[in-house]
Amino acid sequence: MVGIVKSFALDGLKGFPVEVEVDLNSGLPKYDLVGLPDKAIKESKERVQSAIKNSAFMFPIKKITINLAPANIQKEGAGFDLAIAISILVSSGQIKSRRYKDFVILGELSLDGKLRSITGLLPMIISAKEMGQTKFIIPRINEKEASFVSGITAYAFDSLIDVVDFLNEESECEPIAIQTWKPADVDASEDFSRVRGQYQAKRAMEIAVAGGHNILMVGPPGSGKTMLAKCVPGILPDLTFEEALEITKIHSVSGVLDLNQGVVTKRPFRTPHHTSTVIALTGGGAKANPGEISLAHNGVLFLDELPEYPRHSLETLRQPLEDGVVTIARAQRTVTYPANFILVASMNPCPCGNYGSKEAVCTCTPSAVSKYLGKLSGPLLDRIDIKIDVGRVKFIDLTQETNEEPSSAVKERVNKARKIQLERFKGEGVFCNAKMSSKQIKKYCVLDDECKQILESAFEKFKMSARGYTRILKVARTIADLEGAPNIKPEHIAEAIGLRTIEKITL
Ligand SMILES: Nc1ncnc2c1ncn2[C@@H]1O[C@H](COP(=O)(O)OP(=O)(O)OP(=O)(O)O)[C@@H](O)[C@H]1O
Ligand SMILES: [Mg+2]
């Protein structure tokens, strides 16, 4: 008898069904695995054999042929272990009931027969559900991840023995209870109330987050750039369940998901170091894993000391910054991951940090300054909607007792502005102003004559690109939304222009 067990595999974030077929034949004992398995699947032999024996079942001494169908797609990971073991036990008559036919079976086995967690469970379950599969057998450790998906029946187990007892109808158990998801409270490491002065920078940060705009802070050492960036998690808009699921799929595939939590409850704030490789940043490698820019999806990617990052790493950000997705080429196919993040970056204007300052003297040679700034290409800077100067904090601001506004108050305004945007773009597949298409810009950023005049003179003065022009319109739309204004007014355009023109780094 050929035991055919349903399982699932992943291609990027999309799942596809895999049938595990086992055929037992008399002949010299052998274990053949076909159907484009990777090394981890090939090694399943040792795990499955030990797990079956250590669970007091019989491992057939026969010619065993295992096929993972469809045979023409590469399959990865140890998530087929359980399906292979069940298929062998069905083929050898140790599982007699037909119950196994109802389930998609997922799980890795340890040598003693315990079930281990697998990566990518959530995207597999969601894809399977879309294809009409609603019943699952999964490892207990992954239980939380499945518990937020409605419309499915999933059973979680600790060991192979428990799964076999259940499939043989010798024991019954309750399916995982569906839970309701709730975003977590914010726990930012810094709060706006602790940042003295820097009112323009704080305002710029609020606008950036409200409209999903990229922001670059330029200033001398110790002016509070890193501190301001650390405040960002505290003012990010509330996370929705749909967004949380998108983030969780990526985190699940790359194995960074907190399994005790199941589904992500906070917007990501990723801070890759400047020594990170291009693959770590954008994704790739043998398994085409998502990189930092995808792990930052629906959240923030913070690049501190921007010119320290290798130029070619920064250049690879250009496509994702424009399209909100990253495409990774593999040997035979390409994988696309979402990478829709707010880029928050900081830098000094030169190696000593004082270039362009009215108060301090820059000790760098002109060539050192141009080499430093040369790491940032024009096209990259063009994709950053907001570029601000974060100057030295004034003594009076540092010493004066003031009541600085806390992040919670800023967040409230951000949430209001985001609500307006969600309402505006309902059904259009866009969630914030920064992602408007040119058609949407035409529709939602209508300018009167005075606005047009201001924009025209800035366009000529700063030699703006067409992209720069549209980005100003988007930022102006966000400023109007923060005010609750239905139309963009001249003061909104003027403020948006002021947030984009740091001549010393754009020239
Ligand atoms: N505006 C400010 N209000 C209160 N404290 C500040 C402010 N700016 C800086 N500080 C203090 O100075 C420390 C250093 O600031 P921060 O690291 O943010 O500077 P930076 O601009 O990132 O400098 P660098 O360019 O060297 O990275 C902060 O941890 C904080 O204690
Ligand atoms: Mg810093």
Tens of pLDDT, residue by residue over 306-365, are: 999 998 999 999 999 989 999 998 766 789 999 999 999 999 988 888 887 777 888 888
Going from the Cα of 205 to the center of ligand 1, the distance in angstroms, rounded, reads 16
Q: From the alpha carbon of 196, which atom of ligand 1 is closest?
A: 3
What distance in Å separates the CA atoms of residue 446 and residue 424, rounded to the nearest whole number?
14
Neighbours of 384 (CB within 10 A): 22
State whether 99 and 203 are in the same domain: no
Burial letters 312-344, b for 16+ CB under 10 A, else e: ebbebbeebbeebebebeeeeeebbbbbbbbbb
pLDDT digit string (tens) for 83-132?
A: 999 999 999 999 999 999 999 999 999 999 999 999 999 999 999 999 99
Q: Is the CB of residue 91 less than 8 Å from the CB of residue 24?
A: yes
Residue nearest to atom 9 of ligand 1 (CA): 224
State whether 87 and 123 are in the same domain: yes
The pLDDT confidence band at residue 507, using thresholds 50, 70 and 90, is very low
The pLDDT confidence band at residue 433, using thresholds 50, 70 and 90, is very high
Residue nearest to atom 5 of ligand 1 (CA): 195
Does a structural domain hold residue 253?
yes
First to last CA, the chain: 73
**pLDDT for 53 beyond 90:** yes
Bridge-based pairing state of the strands 289-290 and 325-329: unpaired
Give residues with Cβ within 8 angstroms of 175, minimum separation 6: 153, 154, 155
Residues with C-beta less than 6 Å from any ligand 1 atom: 195-198, 219, 221-227, 346, 348, 393
State whether 301 and 407 are in the same domain: yes
Residue among 226, 346, 347 to mutate when testing ligand 1 (max atoms within 8 A of CB): 226
Instruction: State the pLDDT at residue 504.
Output: 43
The pLDDT confidence band at residue 187, using thresholds 50, 70 and 90, is confident
The pLDDT confidence band at residue 506, using thresholds 50, 70 and 90, is very low
Does a structural domain hold residue 429?
no
Pick the closest to residue 210 from 447, 405, 445, 385 (CA basis).
Answer: 385
Residue nearest to atom 12 of ligand 1 (CA): 222
State whether 196 and 160 are in the same domain: no
The CATH number of the domain holding residue 146 is 3.30.230.10
Query: Considering the entire predicted model, what is its pTM?
Result: 0.90
Instruction: State the pLDDT at residue 401.
Output: 74
**pLDDT for 158 beyond 60:** yes
Judged on CB neighbours under 10 Å (0-12, 13-18, 19+), 84 is buried
The CATH number of the domain holding residue 250 is 3.40.50.300
Residue among 193, 195, 227, 302 to mutate when testing ligand 1 (max atoms within 8 A of CB): 227
pLDDT digit string (tens) for 197-221?
A: 899 999 999 999 999 999 999 999 9
The number of domains in the chain is: 2
Residue 18 main-chain phi, psi, to 5 deg: -130, 135
Which ligand number lies closest to the CA of residue 230?
A: 1
State whether 119 and 210 are in the same domain: no
Pick the closest to residue 78 from 49, 23, 39 (CA basis).
Answer: 39
Which secondary structure element, helix H or strand E, spans residue 425, and what is its range? none
State whether 137 and 233 are in the same domain: no
Q: From the alpha carbon of 228, which atom of ligand 1 is closest?
A: 18
pLDDT digit string (tens) for 284-299?
A: 887 788 999 999 999 9
Q: To the nearest whole number, what is the mean pLDDT of the chain?
A: 91
State whether 366 and 267 are in the same domain: yes
DSSP 503: H
CB under 5 Å of ion ligand 2: residues? 225-226
Range 437-459 average pLDDT:
92
The CA-CA-CA angle for residues 409, 414, 415, to 5°, reads: 95
State whether 208 and 150 are in the same domain: no
Which comes out higher in pLDDT, residue 74 or 381?
Answer: 381
State whether 93 and 14 are in the same domain: yes
Q: Is the CB of residue 254 less than 8 Å from the CB of residue 289?
A: yes
Range 61-88 average pLDDT:
90
Which secondary structure element, helix H or strand E, spans residue 440, and what is its range? helix 438-444
Residue nearest to atom 14 of ligand 1 (CA): 222
Full domain range(s) for residue 158: 3-167
Range 355-378 average pLDDT:
84
Q: Which tokens is 55 given?
A: 């669970």
Which comes out higher in pLDDT, residue 78 or 312?
Answer: 312
Going from the Cα of 232 to the center of ligand 1, the distance in angstroms, rounded, reads 15
Which secondary structure element, helix H or strand E, spans residue 389, and what is its range? strand 386-389
What distance in Å separates the CA atoms of residue 507 and residue 501, rounded to the nearest whole number?
10
State whether 230 and 367 are in the same domain: yes
Q: From the alpha carbon of 346, which atom of ligand 1 is closest?
A: 22
Does a structural domain hold residue 484?
no
The pLDDT confidence band at residue 501, using thresholds 50, 70 and 90, is low
State whether 369 and 279 are in the same domain: yes
Pick the closest to residue 207 from 501, 400, 433 (CA basis).
Answer: 433
Going from the Cα of 430 to the center of ligand 1, the distance in angstroms, rounded, reads 35
State whether 303 and 155 are in the same domain: no
Q: From the alpha carbon of 198, which atom of ligand 1 is closest?
A: 1
Instruction: State the pLDDT at residue 357.
Output: 76
pLDDT digit string (tens) for 387-419?
A: 998 988 877 777 777 788 999 999 999 999 999
**pLDDT for 12 beyond 90:** no
Does a structural domain hold residue 186?
no
Q: From the alpha carbon of 227, which atom of ligand 1 is closest?
A: 18
